[in-house]
Structure 1
């Protein structure tokens, strides 16, 4: 079986003579199994993720979301191991909470005016973008690349 293209691409970076350190952030949404609509259990899931030792897990904009950030990595294989470990753990947490978890661009269906995480930063963003919150129900994956200054 061949690895998925994205993993194969990360592995090709490992063979590069000049590998930059990097980290990956991935956002997840918790969904109700029958309806596939977001469920605001992010705070409860975060408590469980932290209890499992995933200190790099954090809340996200919506109360139905959670985020995980890998440590600084130097190989695709190491990033894959860390991210896969979190994915397995958060799937178990979701199962215990009676929901499923997905890392998807947008939920399949959603409510108008979803619950926002109570952190001051997120409340301020919600107030600033107002009606756009309804359309801002997205999850992303971000790659942070360390590049040494050239000066």
Structure 2
């Protein structure tokens, strides 16, 4: 990152009103279709991909995981097409390797092989964090929204903080651990709390403040290096984007389209706020963390925190408030109808966690998710 001469409000004013780009990284588990244990066949699955598709995958930390990345997209229909193609290709490659590709966010049964992929970086992480790095594999959905200036990206992350527990609740899709219901909607979120550099992003005033904070955390030993910024929202190190990392991997491509559309609209909305000089809501850190824990625990089945009013409200009231707040940006991007359709389906079918529990038992839930993964 480098400092810019103009103020964030001036820069945001040049971005506000534009159509923002969006891209998605989805992580999937490779599961044995007989036992639903994790299958360490990622290398074979990647080798089974066509060369042009292999460019859209990444080597993940664990050998039972497969990540697929969309190109930069300008519209939600374009994004949906890329998500569907990625999922179809990855599922076929997983089948060729003797596994099922499943969009589930936490290891449901067990991971007998917890070795990391053989790269110097992954081995360094393994040594530094020890058993934490060898917890059962987890899968997220990371949404990138184009924000070309790093000063503005830092401010966007500040403004997003009160809304991210709602996104977390909407995408909760990890009920099972060790073959039992955890009584949490997003076990992934709970398990990730063991990582010391993960959670809500701190409130930062500038790029210089960001860089100083990261350097202090690296110096403390909490972060191995500056690539270990694992906050729920962060300025991307690799792309001119804000990256929102709070979501569980979603069961179906339509669920991912929904959350990507809402996140893009939220970013566009807060850009308007920054340009107008409206300050970010700054809830106390203990309440922000409590809101995230509650979202992971209940999903959309109970209450969520309205962090502006510092009170608990019915979860769907917060979803409606988020959608209403982002409404002008949804319309500006041409996303209102798509988001409304997917939101109506979410209201009827429930989150991934709800769908897993409704399936009856773990094998039925995994078969259901494997089907939803590719539509």
TM-score by length of 1: 0.80
Where structure 2 has 5 or more consecutive residues not aligned to the other structure, the ranges are 1-16, 153-274, 276-375
The root-mean-square deviation of aligned C-alpha atoms, in Å, is 2.0
> What is the SS of the residue equivalent to 2:37?
coil
Question: Is contact 2:111–2:137 with CA below 8 Å preserved after alignment?
Answer: no
How do residues 92-103 of structure 1 correspond to structure 2 at under 5 angstroms? 92-103=92-103
Where structure 1 has 5 or more consecutive residues not aligned to the other structure, the ranges are 1-16
Q: Which region of structure 1 is more displaced relative to structure 2, 65-74 or 129-138? A: 129-138
> What is the SS of the residue equivalent to 2:89?
helix
Q: Which region of structure 1 is more displaced relative to structure 2, 138-147 or 46-55? A: 46-55
Q: Which residue of 2 aligns with 1:13?
A: none
Higher relative contact order (CA 8 A, sep 6+): 1
Q: Which residue of 2 aligns with 1:143?
A: 143
Question: Is contact 1:113–1:133 with CA below 8 Å preserved after alignment?
Answer: no
**Are 1:57 and 2:49 an aligned pair?**
no
Distance in 2 between residues matched to 1:59 and 1:89, nearest whole Å: 16
Distance in 2 between residues matched to 1:128 and 1:50, nearest whole Å: 35
For residues 39-78 of structure 1, the C-alpha deviation after alignment (integer angstroms, 9 at most, x for no partner) is 1111111122253533121110101111111111111111
Tell me which protein shows more helix as a share of its residues: 2
Distance in 1 between residues matched to 2:108 and 2:136, nearest whole Å: 13
For residues 102-147 of structure 1, the C-alpha deviation after alignment (integer angstroms, 9 at most, x for no partner) is 1211021113661211122111111111111342510011001111
Give the structure with higher Rg (CA): 2
> What is the SS of the residue equivalent to 2:117?
coil
Q: Which region of structure 1 is more displaced relative to structure 2, 125-134 or 36-45? A: 125-134
Count of aligned residue pairs for this structure pair: 135
